Amino acid sequence: MNNSDSKLLALSQLVLVFVGITSSVFASANIVPPPSADAQPSSNSSPQNLSSNPGNSTDAQIAVYQNNVYLVWSDATTGNGDIYFKRSVDNGTSFGATENLSINSTAPSSGPQISAVGSNVYLAWTEPMNGSNEIFFRYSNDSGVSFRGARELSNTLSVDGESALFPRISALGSNVYVVWQDKVSGNYEILLRESNDAGSKFSGIKNLSRNNTGDSISPRIASSGNNVYVVWTDHEPGKNEIFLRASNDNAATFGGIKNVSWSDGDSYDPKIAVAGNGSVYVLWEDSSFRDFTFDLIFRASDNAADTFQNKVNIGRYVGEIADHGQIASTGNNIFVIWSEAPRYSYPPLYKIFLEASRDSGKSFDDAINLSPGPGNSIDPQIAVSEENRTVFVVWSEVTNGNSEIQFVKIENFF
């Protein structure tokens, strides 16, 4: 059983517990209210299978620049674990052939991340080397037609961690920022390297967390202008919170650590998005609001993360366990997607839901179900094309024990 199937099984078992507690099992698989009129897209494509491989395809990531749409994922077809890549040059209407971008034919490559700006496409992933996991980086300067050779980012003379995991990329102009978690002196820390020349050279490693009592995990990064924002889960004994650090000089220096969640329960797995007007949006999973469940909690800042507004509970009445939340934004528009089994559905079947805000997070439309297929839909990712007013979503669809990458685009949605 692979990691995606294991997580899905655990979540399914937990949903069954809730069904038993409520003693209310209904045949209906969808009690989500219909979306409001302004939430209806003028064109919503049917989900497409972009992997179509005999092995499991998971961990899909998507990036968009103008008409170019780039997709990467982890694939087990060869039995090794590889990073596969596809691109579209017509706003996602069609995709070219699948390419294998892995560099090691014997070691498994996993956890790919992708970012694009102009003709540059940046890729990072995790791969074992010499007994520990390391972060590798490749880039293209011709819109994904070809990629340069890979380089290792996580192992330097000053920092040589034990297990580098979960790389994340943000790119803007010629600036490229990569964060990841690595075990240093017994604890996981959040580490960052930046490039100011489109990925040719990188700075030394910065430790952003310096957690002496617990682990810092699950980093995310976003950038806008000279501002760079990094969020992560801070695990102290008995408590998990969402922390943030911000830079206003292209990651040369960072301000102090802020606690964004201030939760009565546990807060996990943050996501972050930014808009060019100083708006910063943070999303995370939180156990504070209902016993034994996790809700998606959203907070917005309109002053470059100096202060944050009140918390908003996203999709509270969709199901019991919100997972794999993601967020994207452009202008005043915010888009939140996640995976969840609708309430009272039996057996529990996970679907991908989308909620949108048109007013910088002050209010959100009703949830839309994007995945009508027969399988369990998990681990969604989202990207937005402001120029084409299009929202792109990918996810893993698990049917009969096999996982494939599904893709949908929603045109004229904002």
Tell me the pTM: 0.88
pLDDT digits (tens, 9 = 90+) for 31-83: 334 333 334 455 577 899 999 999 999 999 999 999 999 999 999 999 889 99
Domains of the chain by start residue, with CATH: 3-411 (2.120.10.10)
Please return the burial class of 79, using the count of CB atoms within 10 Å of its CB with bins 0-12, 13-18 and 19+.
Answer: exposed
Rg of the chain over Cα atoms, rounded to whole angstroms, equals 20
Structural tokens at position 347: 């057996």
* Residue in the block written with tokens 């596809």: 86
pLDDT digits (tens, 9 = 90+) for 298-325: 999 999 999 999 999 998 889 888 999 9
Please return the burial class of 365, using the count of CB atoms within 10 Å of its CB with bins 0-12, 13-18 and 19+.
Answer: middle
Mean local confidence (pLDDT), 367-372: 94
pLDDT digits (tens, 9 = 90+) for 221-264: 999 999 999 999 999 878 899 999 999 999 999 999 999 999 98
Q: What is the pLDDT of residue 22?
A: 34
Structural tokens at position 300: 């917005």
Asked if 56 and 376 count as a contact pair (C-beta separation under 8 A), the reply is: no
Task: Report the candidate in 128, 160, 125 with the shortest Cα–Cα distance to residue 139.
Answer: 125
CA dihedral 222, 44, 298, 17 (to 10 degrees): -120
Give the rounded distance of the alpha carbon of 230 from its chain centre: 13
Q: Three-class SS of residue 39? A: helix
Q: What is the pLDDT of residue 276?
A: 85
